[in-house]
Chain A
């Protein structure tokens, strides 16, 4: 290996955003290297192996799915920009998902055909359907990817159209769980990005999960001539006269660069700049939202237990939904159930084992503070509570039958998220403040990824693409 010590562009972090930016830059002839502290790519959307079994982190489903022939949506833009043939991702659509409150208060089914959700709203909330249609028209008309959009309260906009708080909360539940970095309310542009991604577009998954997507991105990056160095974290950005001169790696080596593109988050990038001697005048607050996820591996398909109809279930106890950092280690009242088996896979693609995953809101402080033995004990305790709460919203399965079908379990927590991704407080969706233009205190250091503000994994990749285009490629 004759590793270079200078690049046109250094990218920090080999997640979806960093890889997508890298592909663009390398394709157009830039000397580019991605530095990743972890030994695996993917960041918030990675995978890990335990006991010979591979677990996905993050990805329940790829949102923004549209069938072949639909153009002009984020997925199509992404495929074109990265020169990826859509068959390479081998995406298979969801069977059908549900928003379930109560249990028993109301259920709304939705699929990749938006008319299903519209009909469900008309059935369950007949007095609200005109308002719902007006809301959808407002969502369709909104330019959510404008880099200059003025912030607006999504709750306020939605309440102009809907008067039933139950329907309002039922729509916010999936939207918030799949990407809101802020508690209880969110910026309307972010609401629009997610509403389109979840409801107007849809869910899909490759049979191999996130590994398939990462493998395609890595192959493109390599073919384009991009380099990457793994287990090679950046500990500070080296500055000269207010500009980045390069980065200093964990081992002390210095790599010089004309541009630095950071996908590690706004507060985290500000810390790297600060370590280099350039403090940010008004630092970005880390996000407050983190999660636990229970993973149950089954010796049979979920359908064999009667869990056949649902791909994803967004649930909340009672008639309200409280999306906020909980006062307990986990808020089991609400969550997201995912059955990765329940996608329309081709013949021969069916997953070898059954998977049952449940995500709920968690309070990071607790999970960070516990010493190892207590951390493990608490994981076990909360695993049971999370799973039991979620099962209230699924067809009943006797405890003994589920136990007999279970071959392995695992759980990730805010502590795991911080360890794998470096995000402070395990903040999965990053900071509540987004930096649309990707600017930082240094003129040649740019943000991409979660804290730039395009959400979901398609959004993360588009963020890397947009920032590489806007700040580097368009400048010639």
Chain B
């Protein structure tokens, strides 16, 4: 019950923050130069044609009404029409999501699969070779830009070895294998900095928990080192790792925009960036809000997961 009430409070806070964020996005885009109707019709259009299109798009309505209409649209899935593509923005985001979502999911899985064992091994063998390697990996991995890793992977793996495509996305209709293989290198590029951060956090957390009294008690009661590690140390050490996963979401999204650009993947990042250069502001507005919802939503999920994982809170709800 206590847990539910806490999550309810967090959800309310999140909705408040999203309200402020959406207002900020709306006002910034409103203040941006360029009349959408003029952009759609081109500079040679007659003033009355522009005025008619403005009325059709609802751009002549007062500001607060348009904000509320947008928010209403967000809840009903009607995000308006893209100025340049001429298709509904919601449809555009949906088409791009089938690239960005698997990409970021693959990257996260890969990062966790590398970081957890590496971090635990490093913590169990302080000052040994595996520890030094893990520390070096996390220091260098954090410092290296993911889009540069992407370029190096294209250079070494795609062009050098001829494995995996250099870029582009065949679409899921072409079959799961070609689609997934187009995402392998981008996912690795995106995963390396994430794995570096998580390795560091895992190592520190395992070391810290190993020094706790309850681990010493468990060992004193005759639990083997191995059992103490997997039954008590690692589950407790997972908490900061999960928190860090949530905190890394903004970096994962930034990274996706860059890596999609390197591998010319038609994802949401590419959509946002192209919309900006084509001044398709309604797409910019909705994609930025979409990402903000993801960042904050994932953080709420992480909070919920934290409560589920925390052994101290187990069974107390």
Chain B binds chain A: no
* Chain A contacts to B: CB under 8 angstroms: none
* Chain B contacts to A: CB under 8 angstroms: none
